[in-house]
Amino acid sequence: MTDITGVLAKADTNLDASLERLFDLVRIPSISTDPAYKDACRKAAEWLVADLLGLGFTASVRDTPGHPMVVAHHEGATTEAPHVLFYGHYDVQPVDPLSLWETDPFTPSVRELSPGRKVITGRGTSDDKGQLMTFVEACRAHKETHGSLPCRVTVLFEGEEESGSPSLKPFLTANAKELKADYALVCDTGMWDSETPAISAGLRGLVGEEVVVTAADRDLHSGMFGGAAANPIHILSRILAGLHDETGRVTLDGFYDGVEETPTQIKAAWETLGQTAEKMLGEIGLAIPSGEEGRSVLELIWARPTAEVNGITGGYTGEGFKTVIASKASAKISFRLVGQQDPDAIRTAFRDYVRAHIPADCSVEFHEHGGSPAIQLPYDSSLLNTAKSALSDEWPKAAVIIGMGGSIPIVGDFQKMLGMESLLVGFGLSDDRIHSPNEKYDLQSFHKGIRSWVRILDALAGAR
Amino acid sequence: MTDITGVLAKADTNLDASLERLFDLVRIPSISTDPAYKDACRKAAEWLVADLLGLGFTASVRDTPGHPMVVAHHEGATTEAPHVLFYGHYDVQPVDPLSLWETDPFTPSVRELSPGRKVITGRGTSDDKGQLMTFVEACRAHKETHGSLPCRVTVLFEGEEESGSPSLKPFLTANAKELKADYALVCDTGMWDSETPAISAGLRGLVGEEVVVTAADRDLHSGMFGGAAANPIHILSRILAGLHDETGRVTLDGFYDGVEETPTQIKAAWETLGQTAEKMLGEIGLAIPSGEEGRSVLELIWARPTAEVNGITGGYTGEGFKTVIASKASAKISFRLVGQQDPDAIRTAFRDYVRAHIPADCSVEFHEHGGSPAIQLPYDSSLLNTAKSALSDEWPKAAVIIGMGGSIPIVGDFQKMLGMESLLVGFGLSDDRIHSPNEKYDLQSFHKGIRSWVRILDALAGAR
């Protein structure tokens, strides 16, 4: 380890310029799931390449069948230090409904949310542009202070994380040699709270499915056919209502195969965090946990699998009323997986269940939207302990090891395809409204996030 | 009765000009349910007033809090003949999804659907502009032949039929003296088949409800909250799935109060019509009746009450995938009523049922979209028998008395508020695709529909 006081000071004096750079990136509406924003996705990739080139990386935009990757390399000050691969994603979620945004999603600004608490507003500020820039700015502070980076660094930014990462596996396979490092650093997660940094050790997997039920070959007048012709909204409602039983368990055959009970000592550690349903759900206007009965909210989101309908549409949904029986109704459904649940088996069980509930004269189509198993990282490793210590030096409270409700499929791919252990550190907060209108990132998350990576890079270099 | 050969010949020679007038009316996009088309609705009313003035009616556009009414009067040739009120509606359904239309909905044309079968295409051609113009053109043929009408005629055209007729009752109340006639003639129904005219004697009532379920106060990331936070789409799906039991019966408390079994002789008469589930549902790509078990399709649509979801929406419904848990989900639901079912009681039972299934930390809102009881007209009256005979003279097969699945609330209002018996005659066919893309009206329906009204007006004048 070197003296990092100067590097931290540099991160502090750079802050205004760091913010300007983040603003530039947020202004690019890189919504990966909507084809209308294809050019914006490429523009975001090109912006990142230009910034990394300016930092002395060799960097390039790398085409894929979908949105491009950004890959960059920089040598470390010594060959003793480990080689790290840093991963983030430059794509963002759609912004609808736009009417609920208080500021333009692609015109970032710094606002005072409450006295003394400043936040950066805009789509992607938290997920994941603000987060990935904490690492880039940490590299800049090291480079501008010492003319070098403490570790050899490879950067991989993708542009399809919010739409199922279809190009990622083929890209890792084709570029395995170039991308293989000692450790992967992933910055797409959150803090425990605004004073307590967190390292995520368990991540749920994901299966995404879209189902389209078709009844009659045209929309019908409900007066002329109602009561005799099949209504696809009724069929779909029954199917979706049947996905859970009265205790909140998912009813699909074999759904819980590979799901193990969380070890008692881990549940006990989570209990010390003091989280309650009232606290967690109170923040979003709710009070009663809606999932499996008899489990804490942390267990529900960190260690239990789910089935959630993410969208549904059918028939007339405009203003006023239209007495129509629709020809089609459709829903988007995602399953969060834990333990050893098999994404393919769950997709098959879901499709079998749906098909069994479609009347003989109706039909159903499925569209696949990504699938990845859950990940459980070791609770005790040198990488994790080094990072835990570095984070605890920066923040008011010591870092905690937590689970995570979301899915970051790349972590499994890094493990399986490149044999790399991942470190999941991020600075998001639970009120960041990611995927929702009025997404924000705390200015403190950005600033101390940069300082955190300064410390972690330095600690990893010294740990060897 | 006079010699009507000349009037019928005039209707024939007028046909091309009659079509041009109908085209002018269809070109006006008078979609009543969408506020964007408010001016178009008024324009349609003004067009009708101008046309009726040209025919010698006293006619005017009459303002309401919603879209205006058209009211017109014309004396009859003798005071012996009955005074008839003719009702139709100039408003039309929305046209979405526009991409499914083969011709522009508001650019009418005549096309050959199959060899020898010509149809008029466009929104409103069948429901109800083409139908109401059959009556106007019949008046024109009488007037141009004899310089007079055989009966005294009052015309009432409304512009809110497709959006629940909110202004109708107050207008009838305020103008009861002006609108009261001996009989009401309503042209908004269909033929039994293309050779067999029909008079509708039973009409189902309608209750329209929109329900909006709110869970969290914002859209949530399904990874961060999935499995713990309430999902309004799940809640709504369970509510909608629970509206019917396994035998297809509606489960609301007291729903079947006031529903009587159809008399055996009426069911027997319907059986002679030779309708089957295979035939009726085969036309729309289906095969299996989906309503109450053990009843014929004619009974299901003419004599049984229903609950149908006409639209549902919630969460992300755009392209691709978004792992969101929505804050809100909503559905539009309509109930078709028969016999003595009470619209208010059914609305209350529905709301009570929904509220009982909303978790304590979630909320629900209701929006009312119209309500009217069912109507049963006498199966045997002088009005009905006169019209039956006149229709049978015009068409290849004798007219039949049928039930009707749809709702025409005005018929009940005419009965209750103005003490008038209604005659429901129309020339729509089951493949007219009303309320759907590619609505059409058979050229024969239009032409022989005009001739039918020529005969009915003449027969009514002679029947006294």
pLDDT of residue A2: 60
Tokens of A261: 């009970």
What stretch(es) of chain A map to CATH 3.30.70.360?
A: 205-259+305-372
Query: To 10 degrees, what angle do helices B38-54 and B15-26 make?
Result: 160
Q: Å from A173 to nearest chain B CA?
A: 25
- Report residue A47 as tokens: 């912006």
Q: How many Å lie between the alpha carbon of A397 and the closest alpha carbon of chain B?
A: 22
Contacts of B361 in chain A (CB under 8 A): 281, 285-288
Distance from CA of A275 to the nearest CA of B (A): 13
Total residues found in chain B within this entry: 464
Residue-wise burial string across B222-259, b where 16 or more C-beta atoms lie within 10 A, e elsewhere: bbbbbbbbbbbbbbbbbbbbbbbeeebbbebeebeebb
> String of b and e for A156-191 (b: at least 16 CB within 10 Å)?
bbbbbbbbbbbbbeebbeeeeeebbbbbbbbbbbbb
Strand A205-214 to A328-337 pairing: antiparallel
CA–CA separation, B383 and B401 (whole Å): 13
Is pLDDT above 80 for A410? yes
**Interior angle at CA A143, CA A140 and CA A146, nearest 5:** 145
- pLDDT (tens digit, 9 = 90+) per residue, A224-251? 888 899 999 999 999 999 999 999 999 9
CB A221 to CB B436 under 8 A?
yes
In the block, tokens 């493990």 appear at A415
Chain Cα centroid distance, residue A449: 17
Report the pLDDT value the prediction gives residue B166, as an integer from 0 to 100.
93
Task: Report yes or no: B428 and B440 within 8 Å, Cβ to Cβ.
Answer: no
Q: Do A221 and B406 touch (CB under 8 A)?
A: yes
Tokens read off for B70: 């058209």
Residue in A with minimal Cα distance to B206: A223
Q: Report the range out of A41-55, A210-224, A253-267 with the highest average pLDDT.
A: A41-55
CA distance A371 to A164: 8
Among all residues of chain B, which has the CA nearest to that of A361? B286
Quote the minimal CA–CA distance from B62 to chain A in Å: 23
Query: Is residue A13 over pLDDT 60?
Result: yes
Outline which parts of chain A fall under CATH 3.40.630.10. Answer: 5-203+374-463
Give the mutation candidate from A222, A330, A354, A369 for the B interface (greatest B CB count, under 10 A).
Answer: A222
Contact assignment for A230 to B290 by CB distance below 8 Å: yes
The reply to whether residue B163 touches residue A320, judged by beta carbons under 8 angstroms, is yes
CB-CB neighbors (< 8 A) of B204 in chain A:
223
Residue range(s) of every CATH 3.40.630.10 domain in chain B: 5-203+377-463
- Which chain A residues are within 8 Å of B433, Cβ to Cβ? 218
| Nearest CB to B228 within list A242, A301, A334 | A301
A119 forms beta bridges with: A111, A442
CATH of domain A5-203+374-463: 3.40.630.10
Instruction: Express each pLDDT in B251-281 by its tens digit.
Output: 999 999 999 888 787 788 788 888 899 999 9
Q: Higher pLDDT residue, B70 or A267?
A: B70
Q: What whole-number distance in Å separates Cα of residue B147 and Cα of residue B2? A: 13
Measured distance CA(A325)–CA(B6) in Å, rounded: 45
Residue in chain A lying closest to B403 (CA)? A224
Q: A208, B318: Cβ pair inside 8 Å?
A: no
Q: Which residues pair with A330 in a beta bridge?
A: A212, A313
Give the per-residue pLDDT at B400: 84
Neighbours of B355 (CB within 10 A): 13
| Distance from the B408 Cα atom to the nearest Cα atom in chain A, whole angstroms | 10
Contacts of A238 in chain B (CB under 8 A): 237, 241
> Hey, are the CB atoms on A288 and B359 less than 8 Å from each other?
yes
Please count the residue pairs, one from chain A and one from chain B, whose beta carbons lie less than 8 angstroms apart: 359
CB A333 within 8 A of CB A309: yes
Question: What number of other Cβ atoms are within 10 A of residue B163's Cβ?
Answer: 23
CB atoms within 10 A of CB A144: 15
Determine whether the interchain pair A236/B233 forms a contact, defined as Cβ–Cβ distance below 8 Å.
Answer: no
Q: How far is A345 from chain B (nearest CA, A)?
A: 20
Least confident of A343-352, A399-408, B66-75, B297-306: A399-408
Contact A256, A335 (CB under 8 A): no
- Residues in B closer than 8 angstroms to A311, CB to CB, are 233, 314-317, 322, 324, 326
Rounded to 5°, the CA angle A459-A181-A463 comes to: 20
Residue B245 to chain A, least CA–CA distance (Å): 11
Chain B: residue nearest A325 by CA? B310
The verdict on ipTM greater than 0.90 is no
Asked if B240's CB is within 8 angstroms of A241's CB, the reply is yes
Query: What is the identity of the amino acid at B121?
Result: T
Nearest chain B residue (CA) to A249: B227
- In angstroms, the CA B183 to CA B164 distance is 23
* HEC readout, A348-391: HHHHHHHHHCCCCCCEEEEEEEEEECCEECCCCCHHHHHHHHHH
Q: What is the pLDDT of residues A117-163, one digit of tens each?
A: 999 999 999 999 999 999 999 999 999 999 999 999 999 999 999 99
CATH of region B205-259+305-372? 3.30.70.360
Q: What is the pLDDT of residues A358-385, one digit of tens each?
A: 999 999 999 999 888 888 777 678 998 9
Residues whose CB falls within 8 Å of the CB of residue A68, separated by 6 or more in sequence, listed in order: A41, A42, A45, A61, A62, A159
Q: Read off the DSSP letter of residue A158.
A: E
User: Which residue positions in chain B have pLDDT lower than 50?
Assistant: none
Q: Given this model, what pLDDT does residue B2 score?
A: 61
Q: Measured between CB atoms, which of B223, B288, B370 is closest to A359? A: B288
**Residue type at B326 in one-letter notation:** A
B chain contacts of residue A312, beta-carbon cutoff 8 Å: 233, 237, 312-315, 317, 329
Among B94, B297, B434, the residue with its CB nearest the CB of A228 is: B297
Res. A306 pLDDT band, cuts 50 70 90: very high
pLDDT at B321: 87
Q: Which residue has the tokens 């004798």?
A: B398
pLDDT at B323: 87
Contact A237 B240 (CB under 8 A): yes
Could you tell me which residues come within 8 angstroms of residue A262 by beta carbon, excluding any fewer than 6 positions away?
A299, A302, A303
Provide the token pair at A360: 């003989």
Report yes or no: A378 and A284 within 8 Å, Cβ to Cβ: no
Q: Quick one: pLDDT at residue B26?
A: 98
Residue A451 confidence (pLDDT) above 80: yes
Chain B CB contacts of A326 below 8 Å: 310-311
**Inter-chain CB proximity B227 and A332 less than 8 Å:** no
Supply the DSSP string of B249-288, one letter for each residue: -B-STTTTTT--PPPHHHHHHHHTTT--HHHHHHTTT--S
- List the one residue out of B196, B256, B128, B192 whose CA is nearest residue B403: B192
Q: Does domain B5-203+377-463 have CATH number 3.40.630.10?
A: yes
* Per-residue pLDDT, A268: 83
What's the CA gap between A277 and A283, in Å, rounded?
10
Q: At what angle do helices A232-241 and B232-241 cross, to 10 degrees?
A: 120
